[in-house]
Structure 1
Amino acid sequence: MQIERNEIRCFHAVVEAGGFSRAAERLNLSQSAVSQAIANLEHRLGAVLLRRGNPPQLTEAGIRLLRYAETVLNEERETLADIAQIKTGALSTLSLALSPATNARFGIALLREFSERNPLTRFKVTVAPSREIVHGVSDGRWEVGFGPLQHTMPDYFTVYSCFAETRRLMIARDHPSREALKRDPQATLRTLPLVTSYLDEAARRPSGDRLRNAFASVWEVSHMELRLALVAEGKAVTYVSNLVTELPPELEHIEGLPFSSIERQVGVYHLRHQPLSQAGARFLALCRERWNI
């Protein structure tokens, strides 16, 4: 046995309006159609729901059905309201992770334009190291990642390359090992620590990713300003993206090494087989429009 939605609607309207004729007006139906719907419902349930009168009186069965009808119709109203808000972006959340350099160069401008286009959309935005973003999007922590792309991105991502980035190896100008670097850069670097943003699990690194072996040790410091300050104080060396425009004046580029500069592509990506939220799709569209991809 199944209760038809149109019969529930008629029953609720009769109770709420206090009569069959007023319910018919509210539903834009004939009074006979409303009466027939109630009769069909009572026949299907095998119970009297309303004692006819002015106004009709609910029976015990009618009281129970009214609670059900209110639940169903309220849920319907809330669902329709939610869908209407989702269509405008009001109930959608942009779950995004940006790399520090990408955020420094484009974060404010991107989020400003996105919020102007989608004023009701909520934000959940994180700045994180690039490799952590890859793992985080894979694990579902973030829906969309925007940062440097690995040489081989996982095939379960949809990837859009936006622009190129150059990362340069930097040291303090007055570092005690500066002259030694000019004479024998590779040997000298093996005495210096590299400060980087993220030490991932070795099992999750791409094969052949052994650049860190060229340094004495590796320090993990996720905060970009702190990394730059440590290098400016002569404590370590680090790679700095050309997207970062405000550098401490104490830093200079270490030249003459195969890895003095590293070229990378920066792009936006998400899980291929998981539908994007409306907010995610709109952010992706903004990026594709901005970089003509």
Structure 2
Amino acid sequence: MERRHLSYFVAAVEAGSISEAARRLHLSQPSVSQAIQELERELRTPLVVRGRKLSLTPAGRALLGPARRTLRAFDGVRAAVEGVGVLATGRLDLAVVPALAVDPAVRIVTEFRARYPGVRIRVRDAANGAEGFTSLRRAEAELLLHDHPAPYPKHRAVPLALSELMAVFPPGTPLPEGPVGLPELARHDVVMGAAAESAVGTWITVELAALQLPSLTVAVDSAHRDAVIPLVLAGAGATVLPEPAARAAGLLGAVIRPVGFSVPRQAYLYHRTGELSPTARAFVDLVEEPPRGGTGT
């Protein structure tokens, strides 16, 4: 079994067809197909079901995760042999839950890229809740940014710092200066990103009930996070966003204010216990660095 056998197999699965994998690999379709057939003969079992869209047999599904981890191990060996201590090249597979796609993912990825410009980062969506950890189990990603407690004992969690939340209102909304409290927010229609800010929305609902105030009037409940700011700018309602996204909305004309309440939020960088690739190890090390100018305690 050669590296190319596993590489072509994984490429075909991720591309959805052998022909598309060949195009991405800049190879002929017969070359990719033959390599997968050789792998099947060596393992003495079919791995894929060929058709308009390639699918996996049970044996293929069992092989996929170990194949991905083996390819990352090859990359680690190459880095060690070549002495690439500065990570001049490499690839990092990172899964991110929607709620963390802007904060803190953008900040961390930007810092990592500034330090290691030769590393290519592939970011994929992770599902909310325990289902999001599938990307680690199947080795689709080596690292995961998630706000859910790890459902499996073999995952290590590194706490992440989160930006403060800010209230964002349509352009021209008359507001007093200073932080916006829950009673003021409740007087406005709101735009909620269902997949992105559901935890925040739930907490606000509970707190409003405790204050004997009416629940938020949700004008738009959008499953598409990217639509939230355009909807606010168009006057559909107010929202609550992490500070970087709120500041960006402010530059486009939205009225932004600090919030006068503290929402309990958590976020972690997860990875499987055991050896990490050089790129993943560098990413984890960056996250674990103490804040600049701080003591780290």
TM-score by length of 2: 0.48
Structure exhibiting the larger radius of gyration computed from Cα positions: 1
TM-score by length of 1: 0.49
